[in-house]
């Protein structure tokens, strides 16, 4: 849809871009964590969200805002792009890079 709109609106000098956020710590995540029965469940939920990101943490609302500001103000030669704001989650290596270290190479 982003690319189609970019093609259609270019004749009007309108740039069209999109942002695809990964796990971002938002009030929704916070409310979900408060609704769990135990601290262990909350910890496991947050840890799962963090470990899905290659960089090992969730994004912030502020980081999403900065990405939007970049596309609106600075990326004047960009149109039809999708900015993956996902901490590398789309690479599907988050949990794979944090495998437990083995005590021995022979285990």
Give residue 97's pLDDT.
56
Does this model's pTM top 0.95? My answer is: no
pLDDT at 86 over 70: yes
**Which pLDDT belongs to residue 107?**
46
Give CA 99 to chain center in angstroms.
21
Mean pLDDT for the stretch of residues 59-73 = 95
Alpha-carbon distance of 86 to 89, in angstroms, equals 5
Ramachandran area for residue 13 (φ above 0: left; ψ -120 to 50: alpha; else beta): left
SS3 content of the chain, % helix, strand, coil (to 5): 50, 10, 40
| pLDDT tens digits, one per residue of 2-13 | 999 999 999 999
**How big is the CA angle at 90 (ends 48 and 92), to the nearest 5 degrees?**
60
pLDDT digits (tens, 9 = 90+) for 22-39: 889 999 888 888 888 888
């Amino acid at each position: 849809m982003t690319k189609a709109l970019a093609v259609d609106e270019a004749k009007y000098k309108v740039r069209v871009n999109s942002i695809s956020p990964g796990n971002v710590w938002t009030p929704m995540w916070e409310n979900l964590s408060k609704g769990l029965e135990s601290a262990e469940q909350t910890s496991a939920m947050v840890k799962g969200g963090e470990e899905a990101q290659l960089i090992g943490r969730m994004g912030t609302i502020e980081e999403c805002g900065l990405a939007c500001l970049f596309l609106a103000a600075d990326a004047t030669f960009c149109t039809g792009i999708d900015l993956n704001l996902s901490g590398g989650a789309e690479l599907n290596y988050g949990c794979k890079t944090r495998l437990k270290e083995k005590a021995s190479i022979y285990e």
